[in-house]
Amino acid sequence: MRVLLSTIGSRGDVQPLVGLASQLVALGQEVRLCVPPDFREWIEGLGMPVTPIGPELRSTAKPSPSGPPPTITPEQRRQMIEGTVTAQFETIARAAAGCDVLVGATALQVAAPSVAERLGIPYVFAAYCPAVLPSQRHAPPVLAALGDKPAPAMDDYSTLWDQDAKRWNDAWSSPINNQRTTLDMAPISDVRSYVLTRQPWLAADPTLGPWPDPKADMVFQTGAWILPDERPLDAELEAFLAAGDPPIYFGFGSIRAPADLARVMIAAARALGRRAIVSRGWADLSLVDDEPDCIAIGEVNQQALFKRVAAVVHHGGAGTTTAAARAGAPQVVIPQHYDQHYWALRVEHLGIGTAHTSGAPTMDSLTAALGHALRPEVTARARAFASGVRGDGAVIAARRLLSTLSHRH
């Protein structure tokens, strides 16, 4: 069987697919990936071919030297959407040629189900967070670029999901159907339902991010797709860890960091008498001085590192949240957009950390959030919770995919 795994997004969107790919390869299947060019070298180094899609994304996380990015007009947004859809149809179709099934992750990849339909192959959509999938029991993801704010608590979020469906159609219906018309395919009337499919997969841990209505069979929850990481920590980091008490890890991954974040993070750690590890990330965060109580690091084996830190402060991506939970490290989540608000609330609800308010933290706000997360009872709860976080989601997904195809044939 030849499988195409396809997504558009940052490391947090790509790495779970690589986790699934590694399990499929272990089961003797041929795997291709269609991902942004930032990850091509890494994945091809693992022995899997890559078709790059879209521009490099890393530069989007760096703060602009001239201030905030310019406002995009409605016409510019329309042109960007049309260009994205056209590029997706062309690139994904080329990558999927000769494949038996297409697995897409992240809802931005709106062309993938149409490409699969055109090729006559099955399509599976996978979400990494329950909030991506419609349910009256939770709110849609927060789209900060469109001015969204986290929704207040409600008994029924159906109205927000209706608004979300309309926004999908307003943005994507015309460019998608224009492409489908050129391919002699019938138009679609409900873009979101078509992209997310009738039975999406939920690649999130059922304890950390459960589907809110487990009796409904509309969602198949596999568990998180985790890529095992056996890389050792480098000598400098090992020496730093050995030189004192467990430090606090700070990282914002692949997203744009709030202004002055590194200074605020280090100041908060010092206010609590703690050492700090600052992950540079795509925002190129750096240290504020040469004091020995802090170290800046690049890409690292989080699975190994998080077991040796006092707490993890991060943006609330699904992968980092899961990695910290599996390691038993208390968390402070500073959400910025999309599903990060969901993960922040889950961490706080479970009692394994603190949900910081969104936006840029101050030294006082971050010190207070860390002070709560470092309380003995929170640390103990995070350690106990870790034993229930599963690591076999990618195995379950790979076997399900093979079973689905064998029944189809």
Burial 194-226 (b: 16+ CB within 10 A, else e): bbbbeebbbbbbbebbebeeeeeeebbbbbbbb
Domains 2-226+391-408 and 235-386 fall in the same CATH topology: yes
pLDDT score for 286: 84
CB 383 within 8 Å of CB 352: no
Among the four given CATH numbers 3.40.50.2000, 3.50.50.60, 3.40.50.300, 3.40.1500.10, the one describing domain 235-386: 3.40.50.2000
Nearest Cα to Cα of residue 209 among 322, 103, 100: 322
Q: Mean pLDDT in the chain?
A: 91
pLDDT digit string, tens, across residues 58-69:
665 555 454 555
Strand-pair partners of 209: none
CB 3 within 8 Å of CB 30: yes
CB 62 within 8 Å of CB 283: yes
Strand-pair partners of 279: 297
pLDDT score for 64: 47
Burial 122-133 (b: 16+ CB within 10 A, else e): bbbbbbbbbbbb
pLDDT score for 358: 77
Would you kindly state where each structural domain of the chain is located, as residue ranges? 2-226+391-408, 235-386
pLDDT digit string, tens, across residues 347-364:
999 999 999 987 789 999
pLDDT score for 55: 80
| Residue 323: both structure tokens together | 């990695």
pLDDT score for 72: 72
Cα–Cα distance between 32 and 196 in angstroms, integer?
21
Nearest Cα to Cα of residue 106 among 205, 206, 10, 221: 10
Cα–Cα distance between 385 and 321 in angstroms, integer?
13
Give me the residues of the chain with pLDDT under 70, please.
Answer: 58-71, 144-148, 215-216, 408-409
CB 277 within 8 Å of CB 247: yes
Burial 246-262 (b: 16+ CB within 10 A, else e): ebbbbbbbbbbbbeebb
pTM across the whole model: 0.93
pLDDT digit string, tens, across residues 223-270:
999 999 999 999 999 999 999 999 999 998 777 777 788 999 999 999
pLDDT score for 66: 47
Integer-rounded Cα radius of gyration of the chain: 21
pLDDT score for 349: 97
Question: 105: part of which helix (H) or strand (E)?
Answer: strand 101-105
Query: Residue 319's Cα: distance from chain center in Å?
Result: 6
DSSP 282: T
| Residue 70: both structure tokens together | 């310019």
Q: Which CATH class is domain 2-226+391-408?
A: alpha beta
